[in-house]
Chains A and B, each alone.
Chain A
Amino acid sequence: MHARHIFLSAIAALVGGVLACVAASAIAAPDKIDPAADAKAFQKYFTDKFPQVKFEDFVNGPYSMNEDMRKQWEEKEQFPPYEFSLEAGKEVFATPFGNGKTYADCFPNGGLGIRQNYPYFDEKEGKVVTLELALNRCREANGEAPYSYVDDEMASLTAYMAFTSRGKPFDIKIPNDPRALQAYENGKRYFYTRRGQLNFSCATCHVQSPGERIRAEVLAPALGILNAMPIYRSEWSGMGTISRRLVTCNSQTRAVPLEPQSDEYRDLEYFLSYVSNGLPISGPGARP
């Protein structure tokens, strides 16, 4: 009788242990990284939230949300404020470096009509490469000093390259490489993480509140938000790169911005671009 009791107790302990292990592994199992499912859900969220907005129109940010602003913008587009930057970018793009080579030598298709493929995951480096980063690497490889990521020269170059890609849908690839998936996931985490004294995440403004006003501004939806970059902002009285936009967003939430082209910002751009796949490039853009 005693032996039987011990045997039953041992069986019960074993079964309990196995169940505990199964439960623990279920709790500890990380969420599967599924960018395709994310993009589908992301796009559905916005199209459900704004059924009156055409899918392609999300790239126009606040103008897709506010009729008055749209009318002003359409008039402004007749003499767009980014035009001077576009011209400057075209000239700089064609001007040879000191060694005689040009930007065209660094990019596929001579650098024209390729904006929709950036950022991409460089499997050799194991990191995300943005267009701004690729441009500076091109400069450095040809003996030139890199441009500031937040100043006019970089904005002019990317404005020209975006212009040559207008209408082409974002086509960001995530290779079957765990590092690429992790970079995408890191970008997603950055996007949804609250930071700064105001306790805002990117999503607070651009997922929860697009179309709403924050002071005098109408917030843009996150869907398609990078398609119009770089942008001329009246608030800045000048052009702004993606780097400048991310840095100022962080500052506005009272967070100390990261250095431009830090891994976090590159991953964030990767995530935001990927979930906007299928939407046309519309840059350079103009915003209030």
Chain B
Amino acid sequence: MKKLVKNLVRNLGFAAVLLAVLLLAGAMPALAASEQDYEAAFAAAAAAEKQAAWLRNEWTPTEAQLAAAKKAAAAGDFAAAITAAKEAEALAKASVFQATSESERWKDMEIR
């Protein structure tokens, strides 16, 4: 009986260690993917904002979201960083659209 309990404890301990190793192994690629996803999302946002800057039409909320993305990434919160970067990209693209559409549309408002 004593031997049986001893074996059970040993087996449970082994199972726990195995489970921990498996969990860790599973989590590592997921973490790495998140950081890569953030880097890709941030690069896309930065590229769109660069275009807005070239058009002399950056928006302050875009800059705020880019800063928030960097801050979240520095803290290791890649999910929040990706969300902020995607928001920044959407805002930057909107500012680019505004600048290009206004290149002629401003005349609609002109006093003649």
Contact = CB atoms under 8 A, between A and B. Distances in A.
Interface in B94-108: 94-95, 98-99, 102, 105-107
Contacts, number: 52
B35 interface: no
A101 interface: no
Smallest CB-CB A-B distances: 7 pairs: A256-B58, A192-B106, A193-B106, A192-B109, A45-B111, A197-B59, A193-B102
Interface residues of A, number: 25
A199 B98 contact: yes
Interface of B: 56-61, 63, 91, 94-95, 98-99, 102, 105-107, 109-112
B60 A255 contact: yes
Nearest to A255: B59
A267 interface: no
Given A41-B111, A45-B111, A194-B98, A189 B106 contact: yes
A266 interface: no
B56 A192 contact: no
A115 interface: no
B76 to A, nearest CB: 29
B58 A203 contact: no
A256 B60 contact: yes
Contact of B102 (A31, A38, A194, A204): A194
Given A194-B98, A195-B98, A255 B106 contact: no
B18 to A, nearest CB: 53
A256 B59 contact: yes
A228 B88 CA distance: 39
Contact of B57 (A192, A251, A255): A255
A262 to B, nearest CB: 9
B100 to A, nearest CB: 11
Interface in A222-262: 251, 254-256, 258
Contacts of B60: 196-197, 251, 254-256
Given A41-B112, A199-B98, 11 more contacts: A41-B111, A192-B109, A193-B106, A194-B98, A201-B109, A251-B60, A254-B59, A254-B60, A254-B61, A255-B58, A256-B60
A264 interface: yes
Contacts of B91: 197
A287 interface: no
A195 B102 contact: yes
A264 B102 CA distance: 15
Contact of B107 (A192, A251, A254): A192
Contacts of B99: 195
